[in-house]
Amino acid sequence: MRIILLGAPGAGKGTQAQFLMNTFGIPQISTGDMLRAAIKSGSELGKKAKQVMDAGQLVSDEIIIELVKERIAEPDCQNGFLLDGFPRTIPQADAMRENGIEVDHVLEFAVPDDVIVERMSGRRVHPGSGRVYHIKHNPPKEEGKDDETGEDLVIRPDDQEQTVRKRLAVYHEQTEPLVEYYQSLAKETDTEYHRIDGTQPVEAVSKELGALLK
């Protein structure tokens, strides 16, 4: 059960990743977590990554691929793993295949940009507790105020419309080409490609995934 999740920011990947991890007992592998763990452990790869990051540069695909290879060799990945946020580009996907990292399922969460903008820009957060509201789907009792404390709610910088649209533009330019890449791969190999309508309610998406992957 080796799975890659594809989809724009705000398409619901994080929520469904939790469902898949709990259902199939597989770990979620995020490159950010791996980098932090490698740096903390002081491994050779960690030292390399730290040097690059301390210099304010992006960690190379080579280092990331090595980290992924190390991570998926660990015992908790025996039954599979869930890759979220990697690969982001076609060269990364090619490098994975060249290094023998195979996947069974690629899940694309398809959600139109306007729906994502509404989802994310409608979020309101209570800074003190981290409680999250949504002006349309889960509004506070009093507009702009936390239900429990009455304190002001804020819009996180990441949820501001212009930021969301910028992140979507980056996704379309860099990561969306992977949709075609993995659709083609599915025709040639055992990898299965599934496109899921991410505008459905969370429970409906989880149910669809459970049926697809059982």
The radius of gyration of the chain's CA atoms, rounded to the nearest angstrom, is: 19
Interatomic CA distance for residues 199 and 85, integer angstroms: 20
Contacts of 197 (CB under 8 A, 6+ apart): 110, 205
123 is catalytic: yes
pLDDT for 189 equals 92
**How do residues 164-205 score in pLDDT, each as one tens digit?**
999 999 999 988 999 999 999 999 999 999 999 999 988 999
Record the pTM.
0.84
Residue 77 CA to its chain's centroid (Å): 18
Running DSSP on this structure, what letter comes out for residue 151? P
- Whether the CB-CB separation of 171 and 148 falls below 8 Å is answered with no
- Whether the CB-CB separation of 169 and 142 falls below 8 Å is answered with no
User: Residue 209 — pLDDT band, cuts 50, 70, 90?
Assistant: very high
Q: Please determine, for residue 123, whether its predicted confidence score (pLDDT) is greater than 90.
A: yes
Running DSSP on this structure, what letter comes out for residue 132? E
Set 50, 69, 131, 167: catalytic member: 167
Set 88, 97, 131, 165: catalytic member: 88
User: Residue 33 — pLDDT band, cuts 50, 70, 90?
Assistant: confident
156 is catalytic: yes
Locate the DSSP E strands across the chain.
2-7, 28-29, 81-84, 105-110, 123-125, 132-134, 192-197
User: Residue 117 — pLDDT band, cuts 50, 70, 90?
Assistant: very high
User: Residue 85 — pLDDT band, cuts 50, 70, 90?
Assistant: confident
Residue matched to tokens 């069974």: 104
Set 36, 47, 141, 156: catalytic member: 156
Cis peptide before 87 (omega within 30 of 0): yes
What would the two tokens of residue 171 be?
A: 């996704």
| Helix-, strand-, coil-residue percentages of the chain, each rounded to 5 | 50, 15, 35
Set 2, 13, 48, 119: catalytic member: 13
Residue 166 is inside which H or E element, if any? helix 161-170
Set 48, 71, 123, 124: catalytic member: 123
